[in-house]
Amino acid sequence: MAILEDPERYEVRALTALVPSFAGLRVVEVGCGDGRLTRRYASRAASVLAIDPDRTAIASLPRRLKNVEARAVPIEELSLPPQSADVVLFACSL
Amino acid sequence: MVDALRSAHRIVHPDGCVIDLHPTSDRPTVEVGGRVVGHVASGDGPIRHAGAAIAIANAIDEGLFAVERRERFCFHTYGESHTELADHIRTTWKNGAIDAPTLQRARTALRSEPGASLRVTERVVATRLHPVLSPSP
């Protein structure tokens, strides 16, 4: 057995309680790291912009998540139009 | 931290939301068979996590957001052995470590109860925030 993180899926249940459906939503995930949380919801979202100032961590974000764009940038330096995201998700990054 | 929430406020749609997940300032526990044998030392983790809660409170005070809903849950990380779990914590957590006495207690507990689960438990709070003021165009 390798390391198992949240096999009970309590994190996903909590996220689902807060955002019942990601369908059609434009998500900005802040502090995505290696995409551990990203891959749990990204396939259902319209688009995901996953950002993290750590270039090493973000380099391991799975390439197969085709609707996910990754950028190595902190949110304070993120250039996005106002009101352009439906969900801004801080993943242990505040 | 509040700056990050101000940035989020600018880019989020008025009908959208901001979601924050962060561990509470409670020390993560090392458990064997569901029984606590020690804690994970996480450096300035409790201070950082408390800071996240303060940042949210400040953003609410500024009138940027209102809390719509909160959820609390436990995030478990399981390992097959105490050394595997300790290595994982050391390499993936910021300043995370399981000290030698805790590892020894975990090993002793696992020997007396073969097959018992070995895990680290973090308490996490998840918050949905609704933007209050109209973001500037």
pLDDT in tens, B97-110: 999 999 999 999 99
Tokens at B122, concatenated: 């973090």
What is the band of B94 on the pLDDT scale with cuts at 50, 70, 90? confident
More confident residue, A61 or B30: B30
Average pLDDT over residues A49-68: 86
User: Are residues B46 and B39 in contact, defined by beta-carbon separation less than 8 angstroms?
Assistant: no
Number of domains in chain A: 1
The reported pLDDT for the residue numbered B46 is: 84
Judge whether A69 lies within some domain: yes
Which one of A25, A81, A94 has the shortest CB-CB distance to B52? A94
In chain A, % of residues over pLDDT 90? 77
The reported pLDDT for the residue numbered B88 is: 95
Q: What is the DSSP string of A11-44?
A: HHHHHHHH-S--BT-EEEEES-TTSTTHHHHGGG
Average pLDDT over residues A10-17: 96
**Mean per-residue pLDDT of chain A:** 92
Express each pLDDT in B55-78 by its tens digit: 999 999 999 999 999 999 999 999
SS3 letters for chain B? CHHHHHHHHHHEEEEEEEEEEEECCCCCEEEECCEEEEEEECCCHHHHHHHHHHHHHHHHHCCCEEEEEEEEEEEEEEECCHHHHHHHHHHHCCCCEECHHHHHHHHHHHHHCCCCCEEEEEEEEEEEEEECCCCCC
Range of the domain at A50: 21-90
Judge whether A7 lies within some domain: no
- The reply to whether the predicted model has a pTM over 0.95 is no
Judged against a pLDDT cut of 50, whether residue B135 lies above it is answered with no
- Under an 8 A CB cutoff, do B11 and A83 touch? yes
Judged against a pLDDT cut of 90, whether residue B43 lies above it is answered with no
Signed CA dihedral, B9, B15, B21, B22: sign only: positive
Distance from CA of A66 to the nearest CA of B (A): 23
Instruction: Using DSSP bridges, classify how beta strands A68-71 and A85-91 pair: parallel, antiparallel or unpaired.
Output: unpaired
Nearest CA in chain B to A16: B71
Which one of A1, A28, A76 has the shortest CB-CB distance to B3? A76
Core vs surface per residue A46-59: b (16+ CB within 10 A) or e = eebbbbbbeeebbe
Distance from CA of A14 to the nearest CA of B (A): 6
Q: How far apart are CA B123 and CA B27, in angstroms?
A: 8
Judge whether A64 lies within some domain: yes
Q: Which residues of chain A neighbour B4 with C-beta distances below 8 Å? A: 30, 74-76, 90, 93-94
Q: Which residue has the tokens 């308490």?
A: B123
ipTM of this complex > 0.85? yes
Judged against a pLDDT cut of 80, whether residue A29 lies above it is answered with yes
Average pLDDT over residues A41-68: 88
Express each pLDDT in A32-54 by its tens digit: 988 999 999 999 999 999 999 98
- CATH of residue A27: 3.40.50.150
Judge whether A1 lies within some domain: no
Instruction: Tell me if residue A1 falls in helix, strand or coil.
Output: coil
Q: Phi, psi at residue B129, to the nearest 5°? A: -110, 135
Judge whether A28 lies within some domain: yes
Judge whether A3 lies within some domain: no
